[in-house]
Amino acid sequence: MTIPNIITILRLLAVPLLIVVIGQGRWNLAFAIFLLAGISDAVDGFIARRYDMRTEFGAYIDPLADKALLVSIYVTLAITGILPGWLAVLVVSRDAMIVAGLIVARLMDRPMPIRPLVVSKANTAAQIAFAATMLGLLAIGHGHTPWIDWGMGIVAALTVASAAGYLIRWLRHMTAS
């Protein structure tokens, strides 16, 4: 067990706490947990690269922790009525589609390499920025602004584009001779 892996596991363990504090409307604490999670993600990556502590376990658990954090925020904000449910469904559905595709490929003895698309990286950045913006606005007591609608639109468009990109990649992989 390496230091970066321990930091990542702690980030994963923070997800239930974040869900609870969002559910309680404790926005300052929710925003602080989100910021600490983001900082821990940067720190564990830096340590892993700088001190050659990269592990196969870390390669799997780090993106899992990131996705658990983001999906939990979107779902919890939707359940509490802060975000529309369709946005949370879109975010969760894209991730579920990707995981299902990887499982089907593996079951059919056609495992796929996991390589993020450029649009997927943009999608993740938009999801993180929007989640941070929402939690930050809630923490300082601001309500709905036009920027929220723009942010939701950007996240939705990039999520759909990313899902389509992965679906196309998966279909090509599965139908290649």
Domain range summary for the chain, segments of one domain joined by +: 3-175
Percent of the chain with pLDDT strictly greater than 70: 100
Mean pLDDT of the 163-173 span? 97
Q: Please enumerate, as own/partner, the contacts of 38-45 that have beta carbons within 8 Å and a separation of 24 or more.
A: 38/128, 38/132, 40/7, 40/8, 40/10, 40/11, 41/8, 41/11, 41/65, 41/66, 43/7, 44/3, 44/4, 44/5, 44/7, 44/8, 44/11, 45/4
- Confidence at residue 144, expressed as pLDDT on a 0 to 100 scale: 79
- Confidence at residue 114, expressed as pLDDT on a 0 to 100 scale: 82
Helix (H) or strand (E) holding 135, with range, is: helix 118-139
What confidence tier does 70 reach under pLDDT thresholds 50, 70, 90? very high
What confidence tier does 85 reach under pLDDT thresholds 50, 70, 90? very high
- For the chain, helix, strand, coil in percent to 5 are 80, 0, 20
DSSP string covering 33-47 = HHHHHHHHHHHHHHH
pLDDT, mean over the chain:
95
Residue 158 has pLDDT above 80, yes or no: yes
Summarised one tens digit per residue, pLDDT across range 114-139 is 888 999 999 999 999 999 999 999 99
- Confidence at residue 10, expressed as pLDDT on a 0 to 100 scale: 96
CATH topology of domain 3-175: Four Helix Bundle (Hemerythrin (Met), subunit A) (1.20.120)
This prediction has a pTM of 0.92
Closest C-alpha to 129, from 113, 115, 146, 150: 150
Residue 177 has pLDDT above 90, yes or no: no
- Confidence at residue 142, expressed as pLDDT on a 0 to 100 scale: 87
